[in-house]
């Protein structure tokens, strides 16, 4: 025995247009993504804070060394003297380079003149 009601229901089910519907609403999806983003930002901030706290501490060997003002002045004077020597050495090297460039220019001029004289002879 065939139930005709079921046959009729099957016919209407096959004739309908079906579309996919989301399981969650758009608001729920946006809220989930916002929550994931907020968690990522929080984890990143915590990692940065942890890394900064590890590197912000001064080693005990550096913190316990007292520095006298006389030692600072002596180091400053030594640095100034080294800077003056460096400046003098650079100016001397620059003068030597300028003189060498002038000599090269003069020698090139002489070479061009001599090559020109050699071509006139032929």
pLDDT means per 10 residues, the chain with 122 residues, are 58 73 84 96 95 75 76 94 97 97 96 88 72
pLDDT of residue 100: 97
Q: What is the pTM of this model?
A: 0.41
Number of H helices, E strands in the chain: 4, 0
How many CA atoms does the CB half-sphere of 13 hold within 13 Å? 6
Q: List strand residue ranges (DSSP E) for 2-122, in order.
A: none
pLDDT of residue 111: 94
pLDDT of residue 107: 96
In our burial notation (b when 16+ CB lie closer than 10 A, e otherwise), range 41-50 reads eeeeeeeeee
């Amino acid at each position: 025995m065939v139930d005709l009601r079921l046959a009729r229901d099957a016919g209407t089910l096959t004739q309908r247009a079906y579309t996919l519907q989301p399981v969650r609403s758009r608001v729920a999806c946006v809220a989930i993504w916002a929550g994931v983003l907020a968690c990522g930002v929080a984890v990143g901030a915590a990692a940065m804070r942890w890394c900064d706290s590890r590197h912000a501490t001064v080693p005990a060997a550096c913190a316990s060394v007292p520095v006298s003002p006389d030692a600072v002045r002596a180091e400053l004077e030594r640095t100034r003297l080294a800077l003056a020597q460096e400046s003098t050495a650079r100016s001397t090297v620059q003068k030597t380079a300028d003189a060498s460039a002038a000599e090269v220019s003069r020698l090139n001029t002489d070479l061009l003149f001599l090559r020109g004289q050699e071509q006139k002879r032929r």
